[in-house]
Amino acid sequence: MSFTTLGLSPNILKALAEQNYTQPYPIQQEAIPAILNRKDILGIAQTGSGKTASYVLPILMNLSLHATVSSKNRHVKVLVLVPTRELAVQVKEVFQKFSSSFTERIKTIAVFGGVSINPQMLDLQNVSVLVATPGRLLELVESNAVHLSDIETLVLDEADKMLNLGFKEEMNRIFALLPKKRQNLLFSATLSDDVNNIHQIILENPLVIKIEPEVDQIDLINQSAYLVSDEKKGPLLRYIIKSKDLKQVLVFTSSVYSAENVADKLRKNGIDAISIHSKKSQEARTIALSKFKSGNLRVLVATDLMSRGIDIKFLPYVINYELPRSPKDYVHRIGRTGRAESPGEAISLVSPDEQHHFKIIQKKMGKLVPMIDSNELDIKGY
Ligand code: AMP
């Protein structure tokens, strides 16, 4: 199957070829023609499935078919609601990457909380596509900086995460501001009761697309684990990074304190590392992420909150310095590797206290992970 059969215009096909998107992913095969036909979609798919391009491409095409792409000032046509700032920026970038191939000007901006509202207000001129976190969007609506009455397409991306983060009320307030007749596209990694509720309220006769859960993707990832006492985790981490000469590693910790501590110790031992977590400013997070993405930072140490926002095409290594609480989070963490059909490696440092929990994770995942006893390694001096 090639992109040419999906009804996309020549300029998009050219942009896809330039991005080395040779074949549509399954979600794109199904979603693109349906969205072009203005159908509603319920997409059960996670990050890594190619869901972003599956809605960005047809939305851009539909927009370009309008006589005027941006409508009345401060009236946006497409609204994408996302749970986090990181996802907002990522989605905006995909829109911008592909909209540059159109002769029509299709302006996309991202708005989110945690940063000053004024530049966002100023930037909301002649915007066609607005990517927003719910809270900040409502603030902007209340200040009359943006109007939602001309919305033609609403996208809810990572709807389950948005609901888990407690955005339900904000989302309902936003829905009430939208015109009745519109296209609705809902993407979610899981179909929880809350997602089901929203789906029943807003989607009209949707095309349901279900992409196999990440467990399949897990087969792409080489997983291993080390049994190690808590006090030896630091030296073992450095041993792994140095002896395997790892160049780009994402390390997960279970708390902000631990993230800071691990990054600190790595730096003291001559390994370039930065931590990102909820206590860091948005600016610091963005800088760290872009350094890491461009290959100018060897180790990024992150807490779970950050794990969904990190989209790097061929991230080769993920190390769990501490295990996450839920097996689902384990899958999300290691899902950062082995994406886009490139094999990745996920290594977990498991303390004796965590061993039982690790067994549960393996059982839920349906895969056994080989465990190495770190006592067999010579990690002195690391
Ligand atoms: P997403 O699930 O939207 O986060 O996309 C996952 C990753 O796959 C992103 O890095 C995309 O750039 C990439 N991607 C999406 N669709 C394709 C495709 N058809 N061919 C190659 N890469 C793709």
List the structure tokens of 205: 């006769």
321-330 confidence digits (pLDDT tens):
999 988 888 9
State the distance from the centre of ligand 1 to the C-alpha of 26, rounded, in angstroms: 11
* Of 19, 44, 22, nearest in space to 31 by CA: 44
Q: How confident is the model at residue 341 (pLDDT cuts 50, 70, 90)?
A: low
- Residue-level pLDDT at 62: 94
- Residue-level pLDDT at 176: 96
State the distance from the centre of ligand 1 to the C-alpha of 309, rounded, in angstroms: 14
Q: How confident is the model at residue 311 (pLDDT cuts 50, 70, 90)?
A: low
- Residue-level pLDDT at 286: 86
Check if 47 has its Cβ closer than 6 Å to any atom of ligand 1.
yes
190-223 confidence digits (pLDDT tens):
888 889 888 888 999 999 999 876 556 677 788 9
State the distance from the centre of ligand 1 to the C-alpha of 301, rounded, in angstroms: 24
- Residue-level pLDDT at 261: 97
Structural domain 215-376, CATH architecture = 3-Layer(aba) Sandwich (3.40)
Class of domain 3-210 as given by CATH: alpha beta
- Residue-level pLDDT at 254: 92
Mean per-residue pLDDT for 12-20?
92
- Residue-level pLDDT at 104: 87
- Residue-level pLDDT at 46: 81
Q: How confident is the model at residue 335 (pLDDT cuts 50, 70, 90)?
A: confident
Check if 51 has its Cβ closer than 6 Å to any atom of ligand 1.
yes
Report CA 209 to chain centroid distance, whole Å. Answer: 19
Check if 21 has its Cβ closer than 6 Å to any atom of ligand 1.
yes
Residue 3 Cα: closest atom of ligand 1 = 19
Mean per-residue pLDDT for 295-309?
84
Check if 32 has its Cβ closer than 6 Å to any atom of ligand 1.
no
State the distance from the centre of ligand 1 to the C-alpha of 163, rounded, in angstroms: 24
The answer, yes or no, to whether residue 285 has pLDDT greater than 80, is: yes
State the distance from the centre of ligand 1 to the C-alpha of 24, rounded, in angstroms: 9
Q: How confident is the model at residue 314 (pLDDT cuts 50, 70, 90)?
A: low
Mean per-residue pLDDT for 298-318?
79
- Residue-level pLDDT at 218: 76
Phi and psi of 237, rounded to 5°? -60, -45
Check if 24 has its Cβ closer than 6 Å to any atom of ligand 1.
yes
Q: Whose CA is nearest to atom 20 of ligand 1?
A: 21
The answer, yes or no, to whether residue 69 has pLDDT greater than 60, is: no
Check if 58 has its Cβ closer than 6 Å to any atom of ligand 1.
no
State the distance from the centre of ligand 1 to the C-alpha of 315, rounded, in angstroms: 13
Question: Mapped to the 3 state alphabet, what secondary structure does the chain carry?
Answer: CCHHHHCCCHHHHHHHHHCCCCCCCHHHHHHHHHHHCCCCEEEECCCCCCHHHHHHHHHHHHHHCCCCCCCCCCECCEEEECCCHHHHHHHHHHHHHHHCCCCCCCCEEEECCCCCCHHHHHHCCCCCEEEECHHHHHHHHHCCCCECCCCCEEEECCHHHHHHCCCHHHHHHHHHHCCCCCEEEEEECCCCHHHHHHHHHHCCCCEEEECCCHHHHHCCEEEEEEECCHHHHHHHHHHHHHHCCCCCEEEECCCHHHHHHHHHHHHHCCCCEEEECCCCCHHHHHHHHHHHHCCCCCEEEECHHHHHHCCCCCCCEEEECCCCCCHHHHHHHHCCCCCCCCCEEEEEEECHHHHHHHHHHHHHHCCCCCEEEHHHCCCCCC
Check if 25 has its Cβ closer than 6 Å to any atom of ligand 1.
yes
* Of 95, 16, 96, 21, nearest in space to 59 by CA: 95
Half-sphere CA count of 377, side-chain side, radius 13 A = 21
Check if 50 has its Cβ closer than 6 Å to any atom of ligand 1.
yes
State the distance from the centre of ligand 1 to the C-alpha of 371, rounded, in angstroms: 32
Question: Which residues make up the CATH 3.40.50.300 domain(s) of the chain?
Answer: 3-210, 215-376
pTM for this prediction: 0.65
- Residue-level pLDDT at 213: 60
140-192 confidence digits (pLDDT tens):
999 999 999 999 999 999 999 999 889 999 999 999 999 999 999 999 988 88
